[in-house]
Amino acid sequence: MLIAVISLTVMGVVLGGILGAAARFFAVEENPLEEELKALLPGSQCGQCGFVGCSQYAAALAKGETPVILCAPGGKAVAEALAKKLGVTADLSGHEEKVPVYSTINEALCIGCTRCIRECSTDAILGANKLMHTVIIEACHGCGKCAKVCPTDAIVMVPVRVTLANWHWPKPEVEHMQSNPEVGHAH
């Protein structure tokens, strides 16, 4: 009896000590969740969430300090992915779904200053000094940073158009037939 108590106590103290030491000496400084969240974000550092870049937003998310719905280029899909990872429900009701946009340059107004090119984090703008610029739509994710720096307001963000390639059926609206109308009004 005594032997069992003593041996278990000794084991508890020794193993607990090891765990305590490990927690101190092998501590992971960065929250691993932060990396995982960062991987879900677009990574274009556009800053529309209000943070400096994606890593900062991910850090704030990991600490639970900020809502998951702030990423504008990521839209609903990213918000839902973040919510899933964090185990929270994405409150999309207050979130006005921003339609996906892309940048276009009004060529008549462009003076070829290259400011937008320097601003673009995905190299989606093509052009050179004093030459007209244009946007490669496939590479543009609609962060809007270029439009902010344009000195002649030649850049506008336009919504991605519905085409045959991205059209899909709307959700069917089902009106249930009510056999007893009063039941229908009751709730």
Partner 1 sequence: MKLYPIRGGIHPDYRKDQTSEKAIVALPMPAALYIPLQQHIGAPAEVLVSAGDLVKKGQMIARSQGVISSPQHAPTSGRITAVTQVAAPHPSGLPQSTIILEPDGKDEWADLPEPIADPFAADPHTIHDRVAQSGIVGMGGAAFPSAVKLNLGTQKKLEILLLNGAECEPYLTCDDRVMREFPAEIIDGARIMAHALGTPKVVIGIEQNKPQAIEIMTKAASAFAEIEVVAVPVQYPMGSERHLVQAITGRETPARKLTADLGVVVHNVATARAVHHAVRFGQPLVARVVTVSGGAIREPKNVLTPIGARIADLVEFCGGFAARPESVVNGGPMMGQPLASLEAPVVKGTSGILALTAEEINNHPTSPCIRCGTCVTICPCGLSPVEMAAFIRKDKLDGAAKLGVMDCVSCGSCSWACPSHIPLVHYFNYAKGVLRVLENEQRKSDRVKTLAEVHNLRIEKAAEAKRAALAARNPAPTVPTAEEKASA
Q: How far is the CB of 75 from partner 1 (least distance, A)?
A: 7
Q: Is 62 left (phi over 0), alpha (psi -120 to 50) or beta?
A: alpha
Q: Which is nearer to partner 1, 63 or 148 (CB)?
A: 148
Q: How far is the CB of 7 from partner 1 (least distance, A)?
A: 49
Q: Which is nearer to partner 1, 83 or 111 (CB)?
A: 83
Name the token pair of 46: 């556009």
What is the Cα–Cα distance from 20 to 177, expressed in whole angstroms?
A: 65
Residues that bind partner 1 (CB under 8 A): 42-45, 73-75, 77-78, 100, 120-124, 138-139, 141, 162-164, 166-172, 174-177, 179
Name the token pair of 37: 């969240």
Q: How far is the CB of 11 from partner 1 (least distance, A)?
A: 45
Q: Which is nearer to partner 1, 8 or 162 (CB)?
A: 162
Q: What are phi and psi of 54, to 5 degrees?
A: -65, -40
Q: How far is the CB of 57 from partner 1 (least distance, A)?
A: 14
**Cβ proximity of 115 and 149 under 8 Å:** yes
Q: Which is nearer to partner 1, 52 or 162 (CB)?
A: 162
The closest of 100, 109, 95 to 163, measured between CA atoms, is 100
